Structures are given as C-alpha cells and as structure tokens.
Structure 1
C-alpha cells in the first residue's frame, strides 16, 4: 500500500494507455509484485481510474486497487501536509515547513480512506505492508478494525532527531498512528533510534533501544533498520544490452569530453543540487588544467511543480547553471549539460555507463538508490562514486568517496581525487561496492522485512497482557 501507484493512465484521442512511472518506491515495488504477486492499494495519480486493474496488461501478475482522491485531497493532503510539512520535517529542514490545520484534517481523512480500502480487501492470513510517511496514520486505523492482520510500515525518508521532530503540531498523533504497526522499518539504525527517542519523549512510551522495541497502550512494536536494495540483475541486464551500450557511446561522442561527471536527482531542495553546482564551480576555479576536459551532466527530474519552494529552486538552479556556463565556456566546450527531464530506465542506465564519475550530494536523504544503480551499471569497475555523508546509503557504501556537500572546497577536492585515482584503486573500490549492492539487493531487503514482520506479529499475538502496578 502506498500513496501513488507505479503507473499513470494517459488519455489521448479518446483512448487510454498505461505507462509505468520511473524511479522511487513505485518502481521498486512494481518489480517485487511482478515476481511474487499480491495486491497494491494506491492512488493512481489521476481523477478517473477503474476501481481495480490487473497488471501488467495482457499478462497480469498482480492487481492494483485504486483509492480515489479528489482535487481537495490532492491539494491539502498531498501538496499540503505531505509535501510542505512532513517532507521537509523528516529531512530536518525546518525553515521549509508549513503547518496548517486544514491540511492535517485532510491528511487524517485520506488515511482513513486508505485504511477502509485495506480492511475491505484483506483476507485472513494476508500481511499488510504500508509505504512511507503519506500513510503514517493508516496502521492504527487498520489495527482498530482488524487485529488479525500483520501490519508493517516502511519509512523511506529519514526520521529527524527528537528535538526537531517536536516542532510538528500533531507529533503525538503521527507516532500513535505508526505504532499501530507490528514493525516499523527504517533505512538506517540512526533513523530508527530517532524514532524510538520520539516515542519515549513525546508519548511517554516504554522503549528498549537494544531490542528496538516500543510498548505503548498495551501493544508491542519493533523499529528496526532494513537498508533498501535495488533489483541488481535488472540494472546489470540493461547495462549489458547492446542498445544501451551504443546509446552510451553516442552520449560520450555528443559531449566531446574526456571526463564525464554525472548527477541525477529529482529537482528537490533536499538533493543538494545547488551545492553540487557550487562545488563543481570551485573545482573549475581551482583546476584550470581540467577546463575543456571535464563536463558535468546534470539530470534534474521535474518534481512537485505546483509547490512554491520547488518553483523557486528551479529558478535558482537555472540561474546558477547559466552563470557557470557563462563563466567557463570556451572554444566550443560547455562545462555543464543540464537536462531538466525524466528518462526511462534504459536511457538512465546509458547515462550511468557514459559517466566516469557520479557526483551525488544530497543534504539529507533516506537512502539514495541512484548511488546503488550507478554501481550496478558498471560491471567493468571503471567508475568512481562520490556520495554525500548525509545519504543513508553512505552507511553501506563506505568505499565511495564520501563528502560534506555543504563544503564546496571538499566537493572540489573529491572531484580531483576521483579524476586522478589510479585505475587499480578505482577498480578495487567499485568491485567492493558492487559486492555490497549484490549482497543487499531488493529481494533480500523485502524478504528480511517480511520475515521480521511475520515473527513480530506472532510474538505480539501470543504475548501476555501488560499489567502495570502503582
């Protein structure tokens, strides 16, 4: 169950066609359900959708059950509470938070609607796996009606330190909603610890940090780290496809650059795109010998274009790109190729292959799957990953060149280090990274979470009542 389905229904000339969306949680679970079957409850992203849709069309492996959201829901719940309050809060960006009681009320109503659908669809013996902060209240709302169901929720974004979380006006309600689950999953142990701290301080819950357990209102919930993996075989197959390889060669020829640095992100203020540009500018300032030899390809996927903060960010990025290009361009060389678009998986992997270096500088990120996709797309171990210290993936991918994205000098130095790294050292680092990505792939991540969920539900179902004595 998630806020958005991994598809969109496109209507043209009186006909409908279904297109898969690219990236994010949606693509991840699309591949899981295609392999294992099940039911996906989500909003389609549109106003008019069928109540249920077999997928993929023609050869269905699973079904989607669509929750209908109206314009008011989308405006207040999605663009309001989710994008203007919870998203910046979870990324510790308090100055970007906007709290509104009307938005919260609509958030509660939409979570109720998702819970009602889940209760109606779930059979005895089913397990419910809820995804992300859009549906934080749904576990408790389902639990109130169906105590027979194992319920898990995975938090795909960071969880902030309790001192920051405390600014949220509905801090008790959000935590209580999450604790309706038997298992709450996070990308890192640090995020899980922040959640446990909040449960203890905000709710007065009994917390066991060693076991990752919370006791609240007679129920036991565990909060544990499950670092998200990717479908490694999918990216390796794309990287080995002759069409992808030829496309990568064409990209290199078009760039006419000896060294290609790649950045790929949604256009979001958490992704450190401006900081990346400033770091690249500092590199060019400090290393004139690399002028006309290095090009940064910046892919920015349009995102939340109706939210004011994102409109402002795009203007800043456009202006900064223009300024750096104007400052350094010479003799037919343009230092930045800026692509404001969304690519399909094949085109994205072609860009991964065409790049010598990935420069990923989020200011805060739950995981950063682009880092893992880049690694999986380089089976020849011929690339370097530069990754922000503040991405969840940095805890796993320690062989990357880790960097503080707020430090432009450090970003510039890491770029120089990556460019000048000896081939043997580069190969060793990338080979180790690929091993880690293989070891913790998408299948293992999902299996670990579902196995833990089944165990936690059995434990809770047979637990003795908690009796308190004054």
Structure 2
C-alpha cells in the first residue's frame, strides 16, 4: 500500500542523531555532515519523508516527525554496520572511488551485507512513497536502491546523486560486482554527479561493461522483469551550502568577536593558515603539513609570525587506515612544532575535534588563507563555507584541482597537492597577495556561492526529475 509522502529522500543516515533513555523515551539532535546541511532546509520546505539509518546499531525505532521532516529509521545490526558500512561502503567503495589512494578490499561477505541492506532501504522507501511520488536516493552506500525500488514501485520517479567522485572505468572495473552496481544505478530516471568528469566516467563504464546503449547523456535501458524499456538521464549538479544562513551567522557580532579572540589566543600572527577536514586520507592533510613544513624549513615563512590551525574532525575511527592516518598526522605535527616553535608559540595548532558551526564560522573569519589540499573530493563544502564567511573580503582560498569546488570556484588559487614545489609557490602567492586582488577575487567567489546555493542545487535536480516524470507519462 502506498505511503503518504510525495517526496522521499533516501540516504545512509537520518538527518538527526537519535537517543533513547532508560525509560524508552526518544530524543534527537541535528546531525552534522554535508548532506544534512545541504538537504535539511530543502526537505523542510517540501515537507518530505527522509529514510535512513539512525546511526546506532540494533536500534529499532518507529517513524517519527522531527526538525520539520517525517523520519523513517532503517534498523541495522552491529554485524551489518561492520560489513555494509565500515566494510563494503568504506573499505571497498570509498578507496576505489577515490583513485585507490589506499587499496580497496573485496570480500563477498561485505558485498552480501551491502546487497541486503540496500534491499531494506528500497523497501522502506517503497512503503513511505505516495503513488507517483518522487524519490531521491543519495550516495555510494545505496547504489542498488534505484533498481530495487523500481521493481517494487514502478510508478515512482527515481533520482540518485553521488556526493563523491565516480572513478574511471579502468579503476571501476576492479570491482567484482561492477555489473550489479551499474544495473542498480540504471534503475533511476536521473543520475546526478558533482563534476563532468564523474558523469563521463560513469557513461564510459556503462558503454564498456554493459549492453545498454549510450547516446550523449542518456542511457537506453532495455526492458526487463516486466518493466518496459526506458531512458536514464545523466547530469552534473555541483552541490552547495545554505549560503544565506551561513553568511548571516558569520556576520554576527558574536562570531566577529570570537574571530578576534582566536587570533589573540594564537598570538596575533601576521598570517593565519587554516585547514578544516574530516580526518580522512583523501583530504591531503599530510601533503598540507609537508607544504607548510617545507615553507618553514626554506625560510619562506617564519613562526610565530605565520601559523597554521588544522581542524581534523574524528572519522571512521574503527577503520584501520584511519587509525594509521591519525598517528602519521600527529607525528608530523609534533615534528614541525619541535623544529620550529618559539617558546609558547607553536606553528601548527592541531585540533582533533568537532566544533559547532559558530566556532567554525569564527575560525573561517579569523583565517587569512584557507588550504584545501584534497587528493580527490566530490565537491568540498568547507571551501564554500569559507567563502560565505568572508564578510570582510580579506581571505584567500587555495584549492586542490582534484576537488569539485575547483570547477565551481574559478577565482580561487588552484594547485596540485602532489606537486609540493608548485603548491608552495601557490601558498606563498596567497600569503603575499595584494589586498585589492584579495577583495576582487573574494567578491566574485561570494557572488558565485550566493547564486548557486543549496536551494538552487536542489531545485535544479528536482526540476529535472519532474521533467523526467513528464517524459515518462508522455
């Protein structure tokens, strides 16, 4: 029997963190993360349903309303969290889709859990969706859901969006279950990617690994399992942030005051460099530290006149590669500080913590140069948050060319984090940039981020899904 929601979002996580006390009383807090930041305002406006995991294993919770949305929890056992999420999603797909920065692992038990969990998500979405509803599935954890959902509910219109890169066919082909993944994705009416490279990589994989016909940005999917032949459209939809809200937060008197306090606590340096990331091997944190360490070694900058704050929020701490990364980063920070600190004044301030948005906005405002050195990144919303926070127009954004944001923010200084010498030159250019050029570049970046905000991103995707629905009816 169809549900009541005309719009359903399906994502690995719910947009809230759920807690249940000893008496069985449920409470929730807004969850951190780019997807929640991006979609929560959109879903509240559309009064939709959100299907996702609670974030806690073996927590069985009925659907409930929170934060202006109808939330439909999907239960995962501890074993499924280990195999589907930590295993296949983050031990197989994540490194594979990020250019094999670390080696992916291929385990049949992980795949079986991924398949089973995707079926459960598809069933939950099918039960939540009203007749003829629009369902928007998100990210690499749920690549099988579109085809599974289409079999259950051929009446709904299905979109899927990939928040991370999609790899070249030569890398994607390593996946033993590559045809199943492609078949799962081709169950959607519209597939969205962050960059044109990602869309092209997907289309090349379809050409090379399936019998489906590709013409331009459309794939003709043959009839199967009592479903008629149809088309899947592939598009590019670079994601953004809730720009107005973040600008208002950054411009507040409290945040401005806190930004001055941060600089004072750091000894009022001439130049403050800032890095903000999840502690993940894709973010290029080690490369960033190497760049800064060599600038100090070469005498191009001096501590404490120039210092760096590196925020590295905890991430996937049970996964071995992440434990190793944390150890390597902390050893590197200690070495730089040991070599170049003045008494009581460290050149690198390393914070392995998660901060509220007010503190992040203050850090962005306090910084002179934002360093985004990702080795591979779908978009990187931190870059856009930094731009939105620059109400005084005096910050400089340095971006890795391997981020989606590099396509989206052309007035940033772009560098290759693997080219240490070249990256050092770019960072020095940012440090020495004349004030007039800073303001000109940042003014253009802020116009871009204000125009192409999260609402525009979602509206464009929903508009194209509506067009797909109309084509389906015609």
User: Number of paired residues?
Assistant: 456
Are 1:93 and 2:104 an aligned pair? Answer: no
Matches of 1:353 and 1:6 in 2, distance apart?
27
Matches of 2:18 and 2:145 in 1, distance apart?
26
Q: For 2:28, which of 15, 18, 33 is the aligned residue?
A: 18
Are 1:36 and 2:36 an aligned pair? Answer: no
Deviation at 1:380, TM superposition (A): 1.8
Matches of 1:346 and 1:437 in 2, distance apart?
19
Matches of 1:94 and 1:173 in 2, distance apart?
24
- Report if aligned partners of 1:268, 1:310 keep a CA contact under 8 Å in 2: yes
Q: For 2:375, which of 363, 376, 389 is the aligned residue?
A: 363
Are 1:302 and 2:314 an aligned pair? Answer: yes
- Report if aligned partners of 1:94, 1:164 keep a CA contact under 8 Å in 2: no
Secondary structure (helix, strand or coil) at the match of 1:144 reads helix
Matches of 2:326 and 2:101 in 1, distance apart?
20
- Tell me the residue number matched to 2:452: 440
**Deviations 1:100-126 (Å, cap 9, x if unpaired)?**
000001100000001111111111132
Matches of 2:20 and 2:346 in 1, distance apart?
39
Q: For 1:48, which of 56, 59, 68 is the aligned residue?
A: 59
Are 1:83 and 2:93 an aligned pair? Answer: no
Matches of 1:6 and 1:236 in 2, distance apart?
22
Are 1:118 and 2:125 an aligned pair? Answer: yes
- Report if aligned partners of 1:361, 1:405 keep a CA contact under 8 Å in 2: yes
| Structure 1 segment 175-190 matched on structure 2, within 5 A | 175-190=182-197
Matches of 2:124 and 2:465 in 1, distance apart?
21
Calculate the aligned-residue CA RMSD, in Å: 1.4
- Tell me the residue number matched to 1:135: 142
Matches of 1:233 and 1:288 in 2, distance apart?
38
Are 1:229 and 2:240 an aligned pair? Answer: yes
Matches of 1:144 and 1:11 in 2, distance apart?
35
Secondary structure (helix, strand or coil) at the match of 1:222 reads strand
Secondary structure (helix, strand or coil) at the match of 2:468 reads helix
**Deviations 1:404-449 (Å, cap 9, x if unpaired)?**
0112222221221111110000100001111111121111100000
- Report if aligned partners of 1:283, 1:413 keep a CA contact under 8 Å in 2: no
Unaligned runs of 5+ in 2: 1-9, 223-228
Deviation at 1:26, TM superposition (A): 2.0
Are 1:147 and 2:154 an aligned pair? Answer: yes
Q: For 2:253, which of 227, 230, 242 is the aligned residue?
A: 242
Q: For 2:199, which of 169, 183, 192 is the aligned residue?
A: 192
- Tell me the residue number matched to 2:348: 336
Q: For 2:14, which of 5, 23, 28 is the aligned residue?
A: 5
Q: For 2:176, which of 146, 169, 174 is the aligned residue?
A: 169
Matches of 1:36 and 1:243 in 2, distance apart?
32
Secondary structure (helix, strand or coil) at the match of 2:132 reads coil
Deviation at 1:233, TM superposition (A): 0.5
**Deviations 1:38-80 (Å, cap 9, x if unpaired)?**
1100001013252112112xxxx22101011111110100001
Secondary structure (helix, strand or coil) at the match of 2:32 reads coil
Secondary structure (helix, strand or coil) at the match of 2:13 reads coil
Matches of 1:156 and 1:23 in 2, distance apart?
12
Matches of 2:152 and 2:211 in 1, distance apart?
25
Alpha carbons of 1:132 and 1:162: their partners in 2 closer, same or farther (altered >3 Å)?
A: same
Q: For 2:81, which of 74, 77, 83 is the aligned residue?
A: 74
Secondary structure (helix, strand or coil) at the match of 1:434 reads helix
Secondary structure (helix, strand or coil) at the match of 1:334 reads coil
Q: For 1:213, which of 214, 218, 234 is the aligned residue?
A: 218
- Tell me the residue number matched to 1:255: 266
- Tell me the residue number matched to 1:422: 434
- Report if aligned partners of 2:101, 2:282 keep a CA contact under 8 Å in 1: no
Matches of 2:192 and 2:386 in 1, distance apart?
25
Deviation at 1:331, TM superposition (A): 3.4
Runs of 4+ in 1 over 3 A off after TM superposition: 10-17
**Deviations 1:266-292 (Å, cap 9, x if unpaired)?**
000000000010011111122355332
Alpha carbons of 1:94 and 1:329: their partners in 2 closer, same or farther (altered >3 Å)?
A: closer
Secondary structure (helix, strand or coil) at the match of 1:127 reads strand
Matches of 1:34 and 1:144 in 2, distance apart?
28
Matches of 1:293 and 1:94 in 2, distance apart?
34
- Tell me the residue number matched to 1:465: none
- Report if aligned partners of 1:22, 1:343 keep a CA contact under 8 Å in 2: no
Deviation at 1:13, TM superposition (A): 7.0
- Report if aligned partners of 2:101, 2:281 keep a CA contact under 8 Å in 1: no
Alpha carbons of 1:288 and 1:399: their partners in 2 closer, same or farther (altered >3 Å)?
A: closer
Deviation at 1:127, TM superposition (A): 0.4
